[in-house]
Structure 1
Amino acid sequence: MTTRIYKEVFFEATHRLIHYQGKCFRLHGHQWRVEVWIDGTADERTGIVLDYNCIKEVVGRFDHQVILNAEDPMAACIETFHPVVTTEGDPTSELLAAVIAGMIDTEAARRGHDARVSKIRVWESTTCYAERIYDRQ
């Protein structure tokens, strides 16, 4: 039987979109909101699909970070002062949804859980989010 769990996590981070014509080309920050739905099989002994703290820890890797496209020339400059999280492509909410979902799936498997992200939303403002839905059938 499949069980679904849900976790909401917030993080603060800076990013910029080097392939975008507009304000988001400039370095700026957000309070990001991440909503994650996980489908899986509850552990027979504990009854847990995946520890909520696992999700919080994965998303927390982005907290108070600078997130830049790996091709961004600004990344090397900032790296001399502060760690930079780089992505393959501009760190849009769409891309971060895919990256975070993959990280959660990897961590769940590493911990031996039969659990995978079925849906994720990454909000970069109170009015804008990207959503990915995974059909794992």
Structure 2
Amino acid sequence: MANIRITKQFNFETGHALFGYDGKCRNVHGHSYKLSVTVIGRPITDTSHVKLGMVIDFGDLKKIVKEEIVDKFDHATVFNKNTPHVELAQELTDRGHNVILADYQPTSENMVIDFAKKIGDRLPENIKLHSLKLQETDTSYAEWYASDNS
């Protein structure tokens, strides 16, 4: 039986600021992110299994990504917790805003690394994360591939 890749796409709105950056993105701003999650595995061949022919139910993949990424990052503002932005983060939190303090500079590159770990840890043993594509704008995105990180 062949390995098959399946992909599910997600959308969420997230704000961030890049502390110490020398361009406009040092200011708090937001993006309409598009996340494509591709997993790889073998379709189920057990004829008595309710998910016969599926690598993973798209609904099961959606649940994982929604819980780990979308529900947490949608309409949140992400700051690097190792910068003075922590003071702004506290002020926003005190005012009821959803703020994430990350262990990294919240670039698309670092976010996609973080997402790969979170999603990969939740996948069933027989399913592997193949790749992620995090699109920040219509023309800019970061990609993570398992083959580049093994």
Shorter chain as denominator, the TM-score bin is 0.7 to 0.9
Aligned to 1:49: 55
Partner Cα separation in structure 1 for residue 116 and residue 55 of structure 2:
16
Aligned to 1:128: 140
Report which of the two has the higher share of helix.
2
Contact 2:78 2:99 survives alignment (8 Å): yes
Q: Name the aligned partner's letter for residue 79 of structure 2.
A: L
Aligned to 1:115: 127
Instruction: Give TM-score, length-normalised by structure 2.
Output: 0.79
Aligned to 2:13: 12
Worse overlay, 114-123 or 27-36? 114-123
How far residue 55 of structure 1 moved from its aligned partner, in angstroms, is: 4.6
Q: Does 1:65 align with 2:80?
A: no
Partner Cα separation in structure 2 for residue 2 and residue 54 of structure 1:
22
How far residue 133 of structure 1 moved from its aligned partner, in angstroms, is: 1.1
Q: How does 1:2-41 map to 2 (within 5 A)?
A: 2-41=3-42
How far residue 113 of structure 1 moved from its aligned partner, in angstroms, is: 4.3
Query: Secondary structure at the residue paired with 1:98?
Result: helix
Partner Cα separation in structure 1 for residue 115 and residue 102 of structure 2:
11
How far residue 100 of structure 1 moved from its aligned partner, in angstroms, is: 1.1
Q: Cα deviation per residue 1:92-128 (whole Å; 9 max; x = unaligned)?
A: 00011111111111122xxx44222211111111010
How far residue 25 of structure 1 moved from its aligned partner, in angstroms, is: 0.4
How far residue 129 of structure 1 moved from its aligned partner, in angstroms, is: 0.4
Unaligned stretches of 5+ residues in structure 1: none
Aligned to 2:112: 97
Partner Cα separation in structure 1 for residue 14 and residue 73 of structure 2:
7
Contact 1:7 1:55 survives alignment (8 Å): no
How far residue 41 of structure 1 moved from its aligned partner, in angstroms, is: 3.8
**Which has the greater radius of gyration?**
2
Give the one of 83, 87, 94 matched to 1:80.
Answer: 94
The RMSD of aligned alpha carbons is 2.0
Q: Cα deviation per residue 1:17-68 (whole Å; 9 max; x = unaligned)?
A: 1131110000001101111111124444224333232354133121111111
